[in-house]
């Protein structure tokens, strides 16, 4: 490694504070962008009376399944908020994220009413069956939840994007054109864009956690991947028939998970090789490490550090751009502080931003 950049050691508390401040900055950027670009309306935003009412049973089963999964938004949001309530940025984001997910449930509900022509009694019964059980957090700490959500959001986005392909008449099987439906296409594209935004937000937070607390982050990634499953499958009473429709239509399955979710997300986290992660964690567990530096060194061998540093610097650049455009840089600038992994790159990919203007009283 040529000319490593010397950086100050960061204590556990300093690492946590840097993560906290960066997440807050990202949250402010996210809300602004989502309000400007993705503030769509469920009832008025689609031509519901033109939604086809003669979709194939498998397509209707997918819609039913997506409605079911999005039905647990009160649990996804509420339990997450309670866990994250001490973090301003993360708990505020959780509420915003939950409000976007709630619209997805409303959208699929309209699809069952308009497209499936479900009588309200049937829908009320399904709601009651679904809500008989509540979703529980798959992990009890914020790092694990972030990485779980990275993989989950990308997988969800792919489900919707693949149903969009079917609605565009480009799905698998004989005569894919028979499923063409512009309203369903528009619905799927709209919420796939939301899921992509959710994925990217969690990905950015995941990178920041990896950058400031690499050893703990890698442990969390490995734990999450060891037993990853999409949410709520065990509590949706008719999940087996939904799962069959998912596999038959090819919108999601093990191959998509490994190729398009696992590999893509790991690569975007700069942690491409899962075997390296496992071996590294074993080595970390074998050496004591009071101040974290020894484990940082092992993590630096696992991660593509220059790639990660570039991505983290770009995330901060985005935050700084938002703060400069809104004046937040004057009252509450998010300062980039080099983390432990900065010692393993030859040079910083992005020069430090200009000093924020000083307020004159």
Site for Fe ion, rule CB under 5 A: 101, 104, 153, 195, 198
Sign, CA dihedral 146-147-149-153, equals positive
* Distance in angstroms (rounded) separating the CA atoms of residues 87 and 83: 9
DSSP code, position 317: H
358 HSE (CA, 13 A, CB side): 2
Nearer to Fe ion, 195 or 296 (CB): 195
75: which 2 tokens? 């649990």
Nearer to Fe ion, 151 or 211 (CB): 151
Q: Is 56 left (phi over 0), alpha (psi -120 to 50) or beta?
A: beta
Nearer to Fe ion, 195 or 216 (CB): 195
Q: How far is CA 219 from CA 86, 138, 231, 302, 308, in A?
A: 23, 15, 21, 12, 17
CB 269 within 8 A of CB 207: yes
Nearer to Fe ion, 152 or 297 (CB): 152
Nearer to Fe ion, 101 or 296 (CB): 101
Nearer to Fe ion, 90 or 342 (CB): 90
Residue 70: CB minimum distance to Fe ion, A:
5
Residue 198: CB minimum distance to Fe ion, A:
4
Residue 75: CB minimum distance to Fe ion, A:
13
Q: Which residues contact 4 (CB under 8 A, 6 or more apart)?
A: 343, 344, 345, 346
* Distance in angstroms (rounded) separating the CA atoms of residues 207 and 217: 9
């Amino acid at each position: 490694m040529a000319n490593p950049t010397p950086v100050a050691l960061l204590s556990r508390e300093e690492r946590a504070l840097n993560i906290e401040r960066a997440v807050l900055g990202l949250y402010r950027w996210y809300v602004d962008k989502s309000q400007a670009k993705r503030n769509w309306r469920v009832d008025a935003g689609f031509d519901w009376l033109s939604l086809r009412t003669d979709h194939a049973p498998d397509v209707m089963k997918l819609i039913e399944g997506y409605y079911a999964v999005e039905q647990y938004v009160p649990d996804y949001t509420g339990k997450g908020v309670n866990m994250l309530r001490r973090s301003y940025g993360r708990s505020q984001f959780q509420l915003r994220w939950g409000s976007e997910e709630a619209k997805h449930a409303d959208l699929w509900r309209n699809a069952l009413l308009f497209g499936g022509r479900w009588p309200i009694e049937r829908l009320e019964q399904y709601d009651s069956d679904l809500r008989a059980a509540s979703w529980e957090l798959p992990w009890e700490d914020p790092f694990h939840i972030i990485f779980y959500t990275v993989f989950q959001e990308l997988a969800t986005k792919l489900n919707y994007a693949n149903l969009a392909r079917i609605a565009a008449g480009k799905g698998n099987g004989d005569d894919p054109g028979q499923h063409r439906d512009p309203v369903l296409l528009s619905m799927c594209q709209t919420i796939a864009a939301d899921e992509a935004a959710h994925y990217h937000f969690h990905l950015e937070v995941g990178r920041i956690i990896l950058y400031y607390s690499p050893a703990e982050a890698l442990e969390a990634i490995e734990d999450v991947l060891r037993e990853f499953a999409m949410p709520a499958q065990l509590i949706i009473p008719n999940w087996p028939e939904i799962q069959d429709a998912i596999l038959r239509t090819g919108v999601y399955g093990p191959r998509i998970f490994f190729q398009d979710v696992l590999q893509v997300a790991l690569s975007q986290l700069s942690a491409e090789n899962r075997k390296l992660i496992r071996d590294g964690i074993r080595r970390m567990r074998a050496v004591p490490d009071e101040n974290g530096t020894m484990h940082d060194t092992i993590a630096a061998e696992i991660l593509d550090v220059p790639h990660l540093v570039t991505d983290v610097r770009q995330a901060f650049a985005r935050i700084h751009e938002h703060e400069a455009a809104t004046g937040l840089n004057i009252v509450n600038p998010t300062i980039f502080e080099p983390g432990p992994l900065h010692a393993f790159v030859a040079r910083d990919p992005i020069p430090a931003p200009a000093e924020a203007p000083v307020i004159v009283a």
